[in-house]
């Protein structure tokens, strides 16, 4: 293993030894290629550059206390990428090809998988882009699917903690019938300004209401939202939320732990009734929300300075499953390195 200060890594990019690639040409996917080149040789008229034919995924490989390396629910990431492909007219990557490439790139870069003790992980970034030249607005005929990895530091450097969020009404991340349910770069481009404003004002992230009526809760920046009240895990349902695999897993764990689970529209006023609230996604698992400000109305929704008991329990359980210390009864993890 590399001798690096894993615990002090940020969520940045670090060069690793290899990435894996596969090209789609003449209506089919080719052979998996291993590359040590960080660059792509791309046609200047490629559709990914002009018309946003770009999809990505995000997952992690965990070096566990038993010495094994595990990845979490990669079949779900494959299925979500397939859904994104259907959404923006790209050829689907089969679950089999996806999983084979994930395993390969993790094994090839095992020197870069941080120690368990550091709390750092190996971030896995699958990327699919339209590569053939097109000037009219049409899908490409050729594509490149690649996966690179980079070590990332622990999300919570000083331990599991709560952070403030802010509602933005001047910007939408995604339209009600747009691409919000797909993991495409365009949604992120649309969120950069709101995110910068939230950071400037001292918040961890921006918080979106539904873009049509501004009445219902949508997402917390690039993470899903959940609230807890009366022994119930509540998470919003809308046509513009990205289906988080962390959220899906937390819903199952909540049920396993005896909570009721509700996935339904959540009106803004209901925020006042939650005992705990959090943002969830691969990066943090859960990032508990201390308070949420609505600057337009002057309203502040308080969820507690410190993470609440259910947030802590859900967080510990999901992390325990990912690190192989809690029984994986749903078969969510795959050992990639024994
Ligand atoms: C990736 C992403 C999430 C989190 O999804 P996970 O599968 O839990 O990592 C949530 N919201 C948006 C907008 C995302 O892009």
Q: Would you state the pLDDT for residue 200?
A: 97
Cα 112 vs. chain centroid, distance in angstroms? 21
For the chain, what are the domain ranges?
Answer: 19-152, 163-323
The class level of CATH for 19-152 reads: alpha beta
What is the CA(135)–ligand 1 centre distance, in A? Answer: 31
Is 19's pLDDT higher than 90?
A: yes
Residue 59, pLDDT > 90, answer: yes
Calculate the CA 81 to chain-centre distance. 12
Query: What's the gap in Å between 39 CA and the centre of ligand 1?
Result: 26
In eight-state DSSP terms, residue 211 is T
Q: How many whole angstroms from 242 Cα to the centroid of ligand 1?
A: 6
Which CATH number among 3.20.10.10, 3.40.640.10, 3.90.1150.10, 3.40.50.720 corresponds to the domain 163-323? 3.20.10.10
Beta bridge partners of 70: 62, 335
Residue 1 has pLDDT above 80, yes or no: no
Measure the CA–CA gap between 242 and 3, rounded to whole angstroms. 37
Mean pLDDT value across residues 308-336: 98
pLDDT digits (tens, 9 = 90+) for 145-176: 999 999 999 888 888 999 999 999 999 999 99
Give per-residue pLDDT as tens, 171-225: 999 999 999 999 999 999 999 999 999 999 999 999 999 999 999 999 999 999 9
Query: Which mutation among 178, 205, 221, 224 tests ligand 1's pocket best, with the greatest number of atoms within 8 A of CB?
Result: 224
Q: Ligand 1 centre from 312 Cα, in Å?
A: 20
How far does CA 49 lie from the centroid of its chain?
A: 22
CA distance 37 to 39: 5
| Alpha-carbon gap, residue 205 to 103, rounded angstroms | 32
Distance from C-alpha of 219 to C-alpha of 212, rounded to nearest angstrom? 14
pLDDT in tens, 76-120: 999 999 999 999 999 999 999 999 999 999 999 999 999 999 999
Q: Which residues contact 133 (CB under 8 A, 6 or more apart)?
A: 43, 44, 45, 46
Tell me the pLDDT band of 3, cut-offs 50, 70 and 90.
confident
pLDDT number for residue 68: 98
CA distances to 24, 53, 88, 295 from 140, rounded to whole Å, are: 10, 8, 11, 43
Residue 286 beta carbon below 6 angstroms from any ligand 1 atom: no
């Amino acid at each position: 293993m590399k001798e690096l200060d894993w615990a002090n890594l940020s969520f940045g990019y670090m060069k690793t030894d290899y990435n894996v690639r596969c090209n789609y040409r003449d209506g089919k996917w080719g052979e998996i290629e291993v590359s040590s080149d960080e660059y792509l040789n791309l046609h200047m008229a490629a559709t990914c550059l002009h018309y946003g034919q770009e999809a990505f995924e995000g997952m992690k490989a965990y070096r566990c206390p038993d010495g094994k390396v595990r990845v979490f629910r990669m079949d779900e990431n494959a299925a979500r990428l397939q859904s994104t492909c259907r959404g923006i007219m790209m050829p689907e990557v089969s679950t089999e090809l996806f999983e084979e490439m994930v395993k390969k790139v993790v094994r090839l870069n095992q020197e870069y998988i941080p120690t368990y003790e550091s709390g750092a992980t190996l971030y896995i970034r699958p990327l699919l882009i339209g590569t053939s030249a097109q000037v009219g607005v049409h899908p490409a005929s050729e594509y490149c699917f690649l996966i690179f990895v980079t070590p990332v530091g622990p999300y919570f450097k000083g331990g599991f903690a709560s952070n403030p969020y802010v509602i933005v009404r001047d910007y939408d991340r995604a339209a009600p019938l747009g691409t919000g349910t797909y993991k495409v770069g365009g949604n992120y481009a649309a969120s950069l300004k709101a995110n910068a404003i939230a950071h400037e004002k001292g918040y961890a992230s921006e918080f979106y209401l539904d873009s049509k009526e501004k009445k219902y809760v949508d997402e917390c920046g690039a993470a899903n939202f959940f609230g807890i009240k009366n022994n119930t895990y509540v998470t919003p349902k809308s046509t513009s939320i990205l289906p988080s695999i962390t959220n899906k897993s937390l819903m199952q764990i909540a049920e396993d732990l005896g909570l009721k689970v509700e996935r339904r529209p959540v009106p803004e006023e209901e925020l006042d009734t939650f005992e705990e609230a959090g943002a969830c996604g691969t990066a943090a698992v859960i990032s508990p929300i201390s308070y949420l400000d609505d600057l337009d109305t002057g309203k502040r929704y308080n969820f507690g300075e410190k993470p609440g008991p259910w947030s802590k329990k859900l967080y510990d359980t999901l992390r325990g499953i990912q690190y192989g210390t809690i029984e994986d009864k749903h078969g969510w993890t795959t050992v990639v390195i024994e």
